[in-house]
Amino acid sequence: MSESGRAASRTAVLVCQGRAAANGRVATERFADPVATELLRVAERTAVDEVRANTPPKGWRERTAYESVRACADVVVPRTVAIDEALRARMTGQFVVLGAGLDTRAWRLPGLAQTDVWEVDHPASQQDKRARLADAAPALRAPDAGSRLAAELPAVARSVRFTPVDLAVDDLGAALDAAGHDPSSPTTWLWEGVVPYLTRDQVRTTVAALAARTAPGSTLVVNYQAPSAKAAAGRLLTRVLGSSITSGEPWRSLWKPERMAALLAEYGLRVVSDDDLLALAHTLGGPARVRASLRSSRVAVANRA
């Protein structure tokens, strides 16, 4: 629990487990996240290993954890592929990850050697991630200096600047200013798996703050959830069946694509693509067991108009 009284995000752990479970097993031509497992605690790896081995456990609680990780993997593989491919085509010298959770891109995405990364997240989640990165730091062996510990897992990006921000109450622009982000240079923004946890007003405030720091040549990649009766029913069922993983992090806003496009346009951002994940999941050859979730989860790409 952080000083603000809020615990680190459990859903951030779940999506990290999903990526760890899929790494090297699913859509290997286009998906890889070897760093995800490094960020998991030992107990969090049990369900991951069971999904990888396709061996569902017996107990109710264990089985619920297993099914959550398996379903999550089905969604995060196409989501990661869609986002990684969009980012690769549009990376700039500044990359801001909003609600970063246990995102691994600064530690694994090729082509970031000339890019500074700002990881923005709720203070409690960020504190938890930094502890995990410290625990994942390898013993670096220098031939003449014996071994020494790196403070944190080394990034592939030029730099990583941890920027604690509660998007519900804090001033994102001021925090990025203080952390050295340059609003006059192009920025690649990523906002993945966060929009549903914010109210409509908080989403609007965040869009306004990032748009004010979006120079020509910048891109926003945003993943959000569209309304879906089937996906909502599935989520309710999971809760009733006893998965407490997501219960502390309720969804607060869903967006129809036209409403998201209209909001971004108000702040000078033009949507150039906006696709659900279902079609992509089919092309990746994954099981697509969670059709409703794949259909309602969307990735939009927007440029400064």
- Residues making contact with ligand SAM (CB under 6 A): 9, 11-12, 15, 99-103, 121-122, 125, 165-168, 192-194, 197
Instruction: Give the nearer residue to ligand SAM in terms of CB position, either 115 or 246.
Output: 246
* Three-state secondary-structure class, residue 270: strand
Instruction: Give the nearer residue to ligand SAM in terms of CB position, either 111 or 248.
Output: 248
Instruction: Give the nearer residue to ligand SAM in terms of CB position, either 84 or 103.
Output: 103
Residue 125 CB, nearest distance to ligand SAM (Å)? 3
> CA 251, CA 232: separation in Å to the nearest integer?
10
Residue 135 CB, nearest distance to ligand SAM (Å)? 18
Instruction: Give the nearer residue to ligand SAM in terms of CB position, either 12 or 277.
Output: 12
Among all chains, which residue has been given the structure tokens 């003449």?
144
Which amino acid, one-letter code, is at 157? A
Task: Select the residue whose beta carbon is closest to ligand SAM and give its number.
Answer: 101
Instruction: Give the nearer residue to ligand SAM in terms of CB position, either 136 or 215.
Output: 136
Instruction: Give the nearer residue to ligand SAM in terms of CB position, either 13 or 51.
Output: 13
Residue 103 CB, nearest distance to ligand SAM (Å)? 5
Distant-in-sequence, close-in-space partners of 96: CB < 8 Å, separation ≥ 6: 117, 118, 120, 176, 181, 187, 188, 189, 190, 210
Residue 142 CB, nearest distance to ligand SAM (Å)? 33
Residue 149 CB, nearest distance to ligand SAM (Å)? 26
Residue 139 CB, nearest distance to ligand SAM (Å)? 27
Nearest to 17 by CA among 91, 102, 98: 102
Instruction: Give the nearer residue to ligand SAM in terms of CB position, either 104 or 139.
Output: 104
Among all chains, which residue has been given the structure tokens 């990032």?
210
| Contacts by residues 247-251 (CB-CB < 8 Å, ≥ 24 positions apart) | 248/7, 248/10, 249/9, 249/10, 249/11, 249/197, 250/197, 251/196, 251/197, 251/225
Q: Parallel, antiparallel, or unpaired for β 219-225 and 297-304?
A: antiparallel
> CA 252, CA 207: separation in Å to the nearest integer?
16
Residue 58 CB, nearest distance to ligand SAM (Å)? 28
Instruction: Give the nearer residue to ligand SAM in terms of CB position, either 168 or 263.
Output: 168
Q: Give 237: exposed, middle or buried? Use CB within 10 Å, 0-12, 13-18, 19+.
A: exposed
Nearest to 83 by CA among 179, 11, 4, 190: 190
Residue 161 CB, nearest distance to ligand SAM (Å)? 16
| Cross-strand pairs, 121 | 164
